[in-house]
Amino acid sequence: MAVYSYRESKIEQIIRAQQRLRLRFCVVVFIILLAAVSVAIARPEWIFGMHQQARVWVIGALFVFFAGPLGENILHWNNRPASLRQALRRTRIEVSESRVRIEEPGRVRQLDRTEIRRVEETPWGIYLRTRGRYRWMFVSKQIDEFESLKQEIAASGIPLVEATTAPNWEEFAGVLVFTATIFCAIFARSVSVLSLNLVIALAVAIAGFAIVGANPDNLPTMRWARLGIFFPVVMTASMLWMTIRK
C-alpha cells in the first residue's frame, strides 16, 4: 500500500493561490453589492422587478449569495489559511490492491478497485469514476508524486482516459438555469410565464436534490445546499400567487 500527501511547499503554494482567489471574490462581490444598492436607490424597479413582494426575496438572495459569503470571508480572513494548512497536512490518499481511500479532516471516502470503471484525467487532476455517474472521487494534481499515484491506480487494468469536457456538464448547466429562474421570478409579470418558470424551477430542484443524494460522500457537507436548491421554487410560487391575486 502506498500513501500520498501534500508536500509542505505545495501546501504554501495552494494557500497563496486560495488567498488570491478569495481577494478577487471579495472585490467582485463588493462591486456587485455596491451596484445593487446604487441601482436600488436610483432605479428600484430595475433590481426589485415589477412586484412589490420581490423586494424581500431580492434582499434575501443578495444576503445569502453575496453579503453573507463576503462577511464570512472578511471575518475569517486570517483564520482560513491556518485551517486550510492543517486540513491539507492531514489529507492522506491510500492506494492499495483492493481500494483507493482518501482521508480528510472530518470525513473518509473510499472506492474499491472493482468499483472504479475508468480514470478521467483533466488539467487539474483525475476523477475516479464508477457505474454511478454521480458517485466519484477526485484526486488533485497538486498531490505529491501525482504521476506515480495515477499510474498505480491504472496499473490494475483500469482505463485511463483524457477528459475532453468538464465532468458532469449538466451540473453546470443546472446552475445557469437555477440563476435564470430567479431572475425570471423577479421580472416576469405574466401568469403563464411565471407558471412555466415554476415548472422549470421545480424540475431543476428535484434533479439537483437527486444528484447531490446520489453520492453519499456529498451529504455531510451539502445538506443545507439540498434545501437551498428549492429557493427559486418558493420564490416563483410566491410571485405567481401575488400575480394571480391581482
pLDDT in tens, 90-137: 999 999 888 999 998 888 889 998 999 999 998 889 999 988 888 888
CA atoms within 13 A on the CB side of 60: 12
The angle subtended at Cα 175 by Cα 130 and Cα 19, nearest 5°, is 85
List phi, psi (to 5°) of 108: -130, 130
Total count of domains within the chain: 3
pLDDT in tens, 43-77: 887 777 666 667 788 888 888 889 999 999 999 99
Among 143, 162, 181, the domain boundary falls at 162
Residue 164 pLDDT exceeds 80: no
Q: Is residue 246 domain-resident?
A: no
pLDDT in tens, 138-153: 999 999 999 999 888 8
Instruction: Judge if pTM exceeds 0.85.
Output: no
Q: For residue 195, what are the domain limits? A: 169-241
Residue 196 pLDDT exceeds 80: yes
Residue 123 maps to which CATH number?
A: 2.40.50
155 and 182, same domain (yes or no): no
Q: Is residue 73 domain-resident?
A: yes
Residues 163, 129 contacting (CB under 8 angstroms): no
> What is the percentage of the chain residues whose pLDDT exceeds 70?
93
